């Protein structure tokens, strides 16, 4: 539903790392990587309303996350200095949470990017996507991909993006009942850090693997159990350094057939790959309705 210039509701989607290769390690400890990002149509929902009070107000708490540590709050705060002089209102933000924390599907980063995109409009900041992505990078390496909103081949620490259009199959997304500690994975001495770089055509045609998979399985028995189960159903893969696993299928019916067999102890979703973020699809409609600017 299209709303007025004082309110906007946007989906905040998850992402998959279709593969994740670690090609080196920098002196500062950050890892050089290559990955292929694709969005999926499993989303949180964020609503933003201009408020008479000149403050940032989160209407919904996320269990275990303090407001000052919440990436939604941080994103709003980082954009506040860019608010137009014509706008004196603060913001009220509510969230309907569906994406699990610690799953490796970018829920927090997606929420941060959605906040930047929404408030750029409501606060009339008039910042371009490149500037928003640079601000988002201060919040996390995955934020820029959600700001730009297009599937991409990523290099560096994940911030060097080249737009691509991989196929958009149906996926089964599986979440074991655990959270993976990213620091534990990236500091493991057995983590592969010398996978040879690949070219984009190779990545799109042949794909790759996730260098973190075996280390995650070693430290997290729940992930290992879920991986072995999903491997019997299809080409099971790990996304990012989280606990979520996924497998691609040719049809929705194929996914639903496997979904019906998932043990009750795991969360699972049927979804489809998207090369354009659902956030941008809704945001473009809102901009055209409110500002009369159609995206070309």
Task: List, by residue number, the catalytic residues.
Answer: 15, 142
Q: What's the CA angle centered on 233, arms 228 and 234, to 5 degrees?
A: 95
Q: How far apart are CA 114 and CA 120, in angstroms?
A: 10
- The residues near 8 (Cβ < 8 Å, ≥ 6 apart) are 47, 48, 118, 121, 122, 283, 286
Structure tokens at 253: 């019916």
Q: Give the integer Cα–Cα distance in Å for 202 and 199.
A: 5
Q: What is the dihedral of CA 109, 110, 116, 121, to 10 degrees?
A: 180
Q: How far is the C-alpha of 223 from the C-alpha of 177, rounded, in Å?
A: 8
SS3 224: helix
Q: What is the DSSP letter of 196?
A: P
């Amino acid at each position: 539903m299209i709303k007025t210039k004082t309110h906007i509701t946007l989906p905040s989607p998850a992402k998959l790392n279709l593969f994740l290769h670690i090609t080196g390690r920098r002196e500062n400890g950050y890892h050089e990587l290559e990955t292929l990002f694709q969005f999926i149509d499993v989303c949180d929902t964020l609503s933003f309303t201009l408020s008479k009070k000149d403050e940032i107000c989160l209407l919904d708490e996320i269990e275990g996350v303090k407001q000052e540590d919440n990436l939604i709050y941080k994103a709003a705060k980082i954009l506040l200095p860019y608010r137009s002089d014509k706008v004196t209102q603060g913001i009220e933000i509510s969230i309907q949470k569906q994406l699990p924390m610690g799953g490796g599907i970018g829920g927090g980063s997606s929420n941060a990017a959605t906040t930047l995109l929404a408030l750029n409009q409501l606060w009339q900041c008039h910042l371009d996507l490149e500037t928003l992505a640079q601000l988002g990078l201060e919040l996390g390496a995955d934020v820029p991909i959600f700001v730009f909103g297009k599937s991409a081949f990523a290099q560096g620490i994940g911030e060097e993006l080249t737009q691509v259009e991989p196929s958009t199959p149906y996926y089964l997304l599986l979440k074991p009942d655990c959270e993976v500690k990213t620091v534990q994975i990236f500091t493991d001495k057995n983590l592969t850090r010398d996978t040879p770089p690949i070219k984009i055509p190779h990545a799109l045609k042949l794909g790759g693997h996730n260098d973190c998979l075996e280390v995650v399985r070693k430290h997290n028995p729940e992930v290992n159990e879920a991986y072995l189960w999903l491997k019997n159903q299809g080409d099971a893969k790990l996304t990012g350094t989280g606990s979520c696993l996924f497998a691609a299928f040719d049809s929705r019916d194929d996914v639903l057939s496997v979904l019906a067999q998932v043990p009750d102890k795991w969360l699972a979703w049927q979804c489809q790959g998207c090369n354009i973020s659902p956030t941008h699809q809704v945001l473009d409609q809102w901009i055209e309705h409110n500002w009369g600017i159609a995206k070309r």
